[in-house]
Protein backbone atom coordinates (compact mmCIF):
# COMPACT_ATOMS: atom_id res chain seq x y z
CA UNK A 1 0.00 0.00 0.00
CA UNK A 2 1.76 3.13 -1.31
CA UNK A 3 4.87 2.91 0.95
CA UNK A 4 3.23 3.78 4.25
CA UNK A 5 5.31 3.86 7.39
CA UNK A 6 4.31 1.49 10.17
CA UNK A 7 2.60 4.33 12.08
CA UNK A 8 0.78 5.56 8.94
CA UNK A 9 -0.43 2.01 8.28
CA UNK A 10 -1.78 1.81 11.86
CA UNK A 11 -3.61 5.12 11.45
CA UNK A 12 -5.01 4.05 8.08
CA UNK A 13 -6.14 0.69 9.56
CA UNK A 14 -7.86 2.59 12.40
CA UNK A 15 -9.68 4.77 9.86
CA UNK A 16 -10.88 1.69 7.94
CA UNK A 17 -11.88 -0.26 11.07
CA UNK A 18 -13.85 2.75 12.37
CA UNK A 19 -15.63 2.99 9.02
CA UNK A 20 -16.45 -0.72 9.04
CA UNK A 21 -17.63 -0.66 12.66
CA UNK A 22 -19.62 2.59 12.60
CA UNK A 23 -20.28 3.31 8.89
CA UNK A 24 -18.48 6.64 9.21
CA UNK A 25 -14.95 7.95 9.14
CA UNK A 26 -13.32 8.94 12.45
CA UNK A 27 -12.88 12.56 13.43
CA UNK A 28 -9.50 14.15 14.00
CA UNK A 29 -10.24 14.10 17.73
CA UNK A 30 -10.99 10.37 17.66
CA UNK A 31 -7.76 9.66 15.78
CA UNK A 32 -5.77 11.78 18.25
CA UNK A 33 -7.43 10.11 21.24
CA UNK A 34 -6.91 6.57 19.89
CA UNK A 35 -3.19 7.10 19.32
CA UNK A 36 -2.61 9.37 22.35
CA UNK A 37 -1.67 12.23 20.02
CA UNK A 38 -2.53 15.85 20.31
CA UNK A 39 -4.79 17.15 17.51
CA UNK A 40 -1.88 18.86 15.77
CA UNK A 41 0.05 15.61 15.47
CA UNK A 42 -3.08 13.79 14.26
CA UNK A 43 -3.59 16.50 11.64
CA UNK A 44 0.01 16.08 10.44
CA UNK A 45 -0.48 12.31 10.20
CA UNK A 46 -3.66 12.78 8.13
CA UNK A 47 -1.88 15.23 5.82
CA UNK A 48 0.85 12.60 5.25
CA UNK A 49 -1.80 10.02 4.27
CA UNK A 50 -3.35 12.56 1.88
CA UNK A 51 0.06 13.17 0.26
CA UNK A 52 0.50 9.41 -0.17
CA UNK A 53 -2.87 9.23 -1.91
CA UNK A 54 -4.72 6.78 0.35
CA UNK A 55 -7.20 9.36 1.63
CA UNK A 56 -8.52 12.70 0.39
CA UNK A 57 -10.08 15.79 1.89
CA UNK A 58 -13.40 16.98 0.43
CA UNK A 59 -14.44 20.61 -0.11
CA UNK A 60 -15.91 20.72 3.41
CA UNK A 61 -12.60 19.67 4.96
CA UNK A 62 -13.69 16.14 5.89
CA UNK A 63 -11.47 13.19 5.11
CA UNK A 64 -12.70 10.74 2.48
CA UNK A 65 -11.23 7.59 1.02
CA UNK A 66 -9.51 7.63 -2.36
CA UNK A 67 -11.43 5.88 -5.16
CA UNK A 68 -9.43 2.65 -4.98
CA UNK A 69 -10.10 2.26 -1.26
CA UNK A 70 -13.80 3.15 -1.70
CA UNK A 71 -14.24 0.34 -4.21
CA UNK A 72 -12.64 -2.14 -1.80
CA UNK A 73 -15.07 -1.15 0.95
CA UNK A 74 -18.17 -1.01 -1.23
CA UNK A 75 -17.43 -4.53 -2.44
CA UNK A 76 -16.74 -5.83 1.06
CA UNK A 77 -19.72 -7.28 2.82
CA UNK A 78 -20.42 -5.63 6.15
CA UNK A 79 -22.83 -7.48 8.39
CA UNK A 80 -24.23 -5.88 11.50
CA UNK A 81 -27.66 -5.31 12.95
CA UNK A 82 -28.83 -1.75 13.34
CA UNK A 83 -32.41 -0.56 13.55
CA UNK A 84 -33.71 -3.72 11.92
CA UNK A 85 -31.66 -3.31 8.77
CA UNK A 86 -29.10 -5.81 7.63
CA UNK A 87 -25.99 -4.30 6.09
CA UNK A 88 -24.73 -6.02 2.99
CA UNK A 89 -23.16 -5.09 -0.27
CA UNK A 90 -25.32 -4.70 -3.34
CA UNK A 91 -24.10 -7.95 -4.90
CA UNK A 92 -25.61 -10.03 -2.06
CA UNK A 93 -29.05 -10.50 -3.57
CA UNK A 94 -30.35 -12.49 -0.58
CA UNK A 95 -30.62 -9.31 1.47
CA UNK A 96 -33.81 -7.25 1.01
CA UNK A 97 -32.24 -4.16 2.63
CA UNK A 98 -28.66 -3.02 2.41
CA UNK A 99 -26.55 -0.05 3.32
CA UNK A 100 -24.08 1.74 1.12
CA UNK A 101 -21.86 4.70 1.74
CA UNK A 102 -22.58 7.50 -0.71
CA UNK A 103 -19.30 8.51 -2.30
CA UNK A 104 -20.39 11.15 -4.78
CA UNK A 105 -22.10 14.50 -4.96
CA UNK A 106 -24.80 13.34 -7.40
CA UNK A 107 -27.57 14.26 -4.95
CA UNK A 108 -26.02 17.20 -3.08
CA UNK A 109 -28.87 19.61 -3.94
CA UNK A 110 -31.21 17.59 -1.70
CA UNK A 111 -28.68 17.23 1.10
CA UNK A 112 -27.21 13.79 0.33
CA UNK A 113 -23.47 14.30 0.55
CA UNK A 114 -20.39 12.20 0.01
CA UNK A 115 -19.81 10.20 3.19
CA UNK A 116 -23.51 9.86 4.05
CA UNK A 117 -24.96 6.41 4.41
CA UNK A 118 -27.93 5.32 2.31
CA UNK A 119 -30.32 2.58 3.39
CA UNK A 120 -31.80 0.91 0.31
CA UNK A 121 -34.58 -1.58 -0.37
CA UNK A 122 -33.86 -3.93 -3.25
CA UNK A 123 -36.45 -3.59 -6.06
CA UNK A 124 -36.63 -3.59 -9.84
CA UNK A 125 -39.24 -0.85 -10.24
CA UNK A 126 -40.13 2.44 -8.56
CA UNK A 127 -42.57 5.29 -8.87
CA UNK A 128 -41.91 8.68 -10.36
CA UNK A 129 -40.06 10.90 -7.89
CA UNK A 130 -38.31 8.06 -6.05
CA UNK A 131 -34.55 8.17 -5.60
CA UNK A 132 -33.15 4.97 -7.06
CA UNK A 133 -29.85 3.16 -7.30
CA UNK A 134 -29.66 2.24 -10.96
CA UNK A 135 -27.26 1.04 -13.64
CA UNK A 136 -26.22 3.57 -16.30
CA UNK A 137 -24.55 3.13 -19.66
CA UNK A 138 -23.09 0.10 -21.37
CA UNK A 139 -20.64 -0.38 -18.51
CA UNK A 140 -23.65 -0.45 -16.15
CA UNK A 141 -22.02 1.74 -13.52
CA UNK A 142 -24.07 2.32 -10.38
CA UNK A 143 -25.62 5.75 -10.03
CA UNK A 144 -27.97 7.40 -7.55
CA UNK A 145 -30.69 9.36 -9.36
CA UNK A 146 -34.23 10.69 -9.03
CA UNK A 147 -36.56 8.71 -11.31
CA UNK A 148 -39.04 10.67 -13.42
CA UNK A 149 -41.49 8.68 -15.55
CA UNK A 150 -42.56 10.88 -18.45
CA UNK A 151 -45.98 10.81 -20.12
CA UNK A 152 -44.36 9.59 -23.38
CA UNK A 153 -43.16 6.43 -21.56
CA UNK A 154 -39.51 7.42 -21.36
CA UNK A 155 -37.57 7.46 -18.10
CA UNK A 156 -35.52 10.40 -16.89
CA UNK A 157 -32.78 9.72 -14.36
CA UNK A 158 -32.00 13.07 -12.80
CA UNK A 159 -29.03 13.79 -10.54
CA UNK A 160 -29.75 16.42 -7.88
CA UNK A 161 -26.61 18.32 -8.83
CA UNK A 162 -26.73 21.33 -11.16
CA UNK A 163 -23.38 20.47 -12.73
CA UNK A 164 -24.56 17.04 -13.95
CA UNK A 165 -26.92 16.20 -16.78
CA UNK A 166 -29.95 13.93 -16.74
CA UNK A 167 -30.19 10.64 -18.63
CA UNK A 168 -33.26 9.83 -20.73
CA UNK A 169 -33.90 6.21 -21.70
CA UNK A 170 -36.56 3.76 -22.89
CA UNK A 171 -35.31 1.11 -20.48
CA UNK A 172 -33.58 1.30 -17.14
CA UNK A 173 -32.23 -1.20 -14.67
CA UNK A 174 -33.19 -0.30 -11.11
CA UNK A 175 -31.32 -2.11 -8.34
CA UNK A 176 -32.88 -0.49 -5.27
CA UNK A 177 -34.86 2.43 -3.89
CA UNK A 178 -33.48 4.80 -1.24
CA UNK A 179 -35.43 4.34 2.00
CA UNK A 180 -33.52 6.79 4.17
CA UNK A 181 -30.12 8.31 4.65
CA UNK A 182 -28.12 9.24 7.66
CA UNK A 183 -25.13 11.33 8.49
CA UNK A 184 -23.04 10.85 11.58
CA UNK A 185 -21.50 13.85 13.31
CA UNK A 186 -18.76 13.59 15.86
Digit-coded pLDDT (tens) for 77-117: 333 323 222 334 444 555 577 777 777 778 888 888 877 88
15 pLDDT more than 90: no
Is residue 49 within 8 A of residue 55, CB to CB? The reply is yes
Q: Which CATH class is domain 81-182?
A: mainly beta
Domain formed by 6-75, architecture? Orthogonal Bundle (1.10)
What is the C-alpha to C-alpha distance for residues 143 and 145, in angstroms, rounded to an integer?
6
The residue ranges of every structural domain in the chain are: 6-75, 81-182
Confidence of residue 127 (pLDDT cuts 50, 70, 90): very high
**Averaged confidence pLDDT in the chain:** 78
- Residue 132 to residue 93: CA distance in whole angstroms: 16
Amino acid sequence: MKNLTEKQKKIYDFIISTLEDTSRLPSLTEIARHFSFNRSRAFTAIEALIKKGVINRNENGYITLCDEERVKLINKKIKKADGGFSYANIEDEKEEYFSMMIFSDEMKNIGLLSGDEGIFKRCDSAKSGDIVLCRLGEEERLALRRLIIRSDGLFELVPENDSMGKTVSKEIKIEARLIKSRRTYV
